[in-house]
Structure 1
Amino acid sequence: MSLHMRLAAAGSPLSDASSYVLGMPHLCPNGLSENWLWKELGHRHWNLIAQAYGRAAAGFGPKGGQPIYAAFRNISLHGGDLGGVRENDSLDVRSTITSLSETRVVSRHVAACRDRLIADVEMTSVFVRRQAEGVNRSIIRVRIEGPGGAEPSGETMASHPSYSRRATSAQDTFVDEREVGTMAIETCPHLDFNGAGLLYFSSFIAAVDRAEWHLVGKRSGLLATRERRAVFYANIEVGDDLTVRMLTAQDGTACRHRALLSASVDGKLLAEVVTDRMMA
């Protein structure tokens, strides 16, 4: 599919188009910063939800109740050419809600530079709230119903059927998968947690990148992301740490691996991330 067709296919009444002149906050040594991209697209995803429900200022849920958030269930990046941009380039991003219901939202984001595809991203979130104030392990899914209202769906994040299907299984991805090692990641509330007190979804990806740098080798610093897929199962409390177990398959031109992220405190599976990189 041509870039023009991709951009056209992404059009809908609930959409947003923006351009960014790329500077230091947007870049890393090998081109576009994937960490910046995830944070920016996460913000755009939230703004589209607020636009869809028409209550950006008031937020979601009844007054006095536990706040309701849009928690990412899975994200994917395809057609990645993050190494194809440099300082002062103009990055055009078209964001669109492609599916909206009272329980979940799917958005698509197409990033291009000089009519060349840089990233084609899809993000799925579900509505959640805490059952106990300040306790991330008490998060359950909820259903948004009417202006300001929400009803529990009766499901925890991990118990929902879509979470039990491993969208990023080794069998679907690699034939020669082998275990590389395990790395402990110490989280920091100033860097890794968002304003809702949750470990931010981009911090899961950052943890995988740190583990890759340590376990796979420094040659990974020469590579840029071509594909990334992640599915999220649970969150942790501020002060808890992560353990990243990495399995990899490599050839001469690419770095491909699957990472299992778990809570260091109890071993609970938090996320599964598949990465495919190539020379920038």
Structure 2
Amino acid sequence: MSLQEEVYIAGMPQLSYQGLSENWLLKECGHRHWLGLADLNNQDLPDFYDQSGNKAYAAFTAVKISSKSLANIQENQSFAIHSDVARVGPARYYGQHTITSRSFNCVQVKMLSTFVFRREHRNNQSVTKASFSSEPMEFNGDREFLDEWTAFAKYARRGNWVEHLGINRFYLGSKLSLTYNPCPNSDFNGANFLYFASFQNYIDKAEWEWFRKESIWTLDTRELYYYGNINLGDTLTITLGSAVTTEDELRHWCEVYNNQNIKIADVFTVKRMAKNESSNT
């Protein structure tokens, strides 16, 4: 396992309207996960090639965020991220990132990744799994949780689920949708993929369009399952698969499609009403 901890001071890049920025946190944990892979493979900096010599990148297949309170972290407050990254398959890795401040566990981000490469230059729809040697591995974490999470990721991809996080797949409400044109300067990463954190950003933008009149919501749980990517110039469509709203809680499931109407992600979200906020804030 690879253990790292770093202390930060919350400034404008790290903060959002309601405390620590979920989008910034995903990017930072993704970066730390990437560095953890390098550390586990005895590299000073991450630079991976598979058994056939293909340039390989770690693609996230699932991300789970559990938040006790992003709002607990405010301007100029110190906080730490403790990262634990482990190899759980020939090309698969599991990362767990715990965010603490003033001895309070504010957020936990769990990440599953696998190495991939492009069969065609800059064609993100030609991505396939990379091959690495099956060396012995040691994982001392919660294997039962990991197996259950991996199993649900497969169920989600196949559409083989009925209820998850209090969200029912069979929704009788309006099937809302929004289409976006991702920007190369803010939504794609240095490897020319639509950045995994951009999916969260577009889900929040869609949520703001659909539910802004009801309340300001703060994150409790989010699960993202990734199945594909898009190329520069492609559109991204967010469809509301299901939603449940109560006086103090919002739950929704969104599907993400590319411009060929192929699903490339499922996102499950649970939010609470923000304290001392209303839709008029």
TM normalised by structure 1 equals 0.84
Change (3 A) 1:26 1:108: same
Residue pair 1:77, 1:122 contacting (<8 A) in 2 also: yes
Aligned twin of 2:179? 184
Instruction: Pick the structure with more helix per residue.
Output: 1
Work out whether 1:206 is the aligned partner of 2:201.
yes
Aligned twin of 1:15? 3
Residue pair 1:14, 1:96 contacting (<8 A) in 2 also: yes
Question: Partners of 1:189 and 1:216 in 2: how far apart?
Answer: 28
For residues 1-280 of structure 1, what are the structure 2 equivalents within 5 Å?
13-57=1-45, 59-61=47-49, 65-145=53-133, 164-166=154-156, 169=161, 171-173=163-165, 174-175=167-168, 177=171, 178-220=173-215, 222-246=216-240, 247-263=242-258, 265-280=259-274
Report deviation, 1:118: 1.1
- Matching residue's letter, 2:163: Q
Change (3 A) 1:78 1:202: same
TM normalised by structure 2 equals 0.83
Report deviation, 1:146: 8.9
Structure 1 residue runs of 5 or longer lacking an equivalent are: 1-12, 148-159
Worse-superposed segment, 90-99 or 200-209: 90-99
Structure 2 residue runs of 5 or longer lacking an equivalent are: 136-149, 275-281
- Matching residue's letter, 2:79: L
Secondary structure, aligned partner of 1:37: helix
Aligned twin of 1:9? none
- Matching residue's letter, 2:27: K
- Matching residue's letter, 1:133: H
- Matching residue's letter, 1:119: V
Deviations 1:246-272 (A, max 9, x none): 121111111211110000x21000100
Change (3 A) 1:219 1:40: farther
Count of residues in Structure 1 that have an aligned counterpart in Structure 2: 254
Q: How many percent identity over aligned positions? A: 30
